[in-house]
Amino acid sequence: MRQDDEDLVRARQKSRSIVMAVLLGLFVILVFAISLVKIQQGIDAR
């Protein structure tokens, strides 16, 4: 592969990694929020 091709591949890998990191972070926040709501509902039910 030429250097230009390798740079293009690396740039795509980096952008894909950033997208995956953001999606994983959003998923963690979603699970955390759902957990908080379920805990709060359990407290309110008493």
Answering whether pTM is above 0.85, one says: no
Q: Where are the domains of the chain?
A: 1-46
pLDDT tens for each residue of 8-35: 999 999 999 999 999 999 999 999 999 9
Report the C-alpha gap between 21 and 17 in whole angstroms: 6
Q: What pLDDT shows up at residue 46?
A: 65
The distance of Cα 9 from the centroid of its chain, to the nearest Å, equals 22
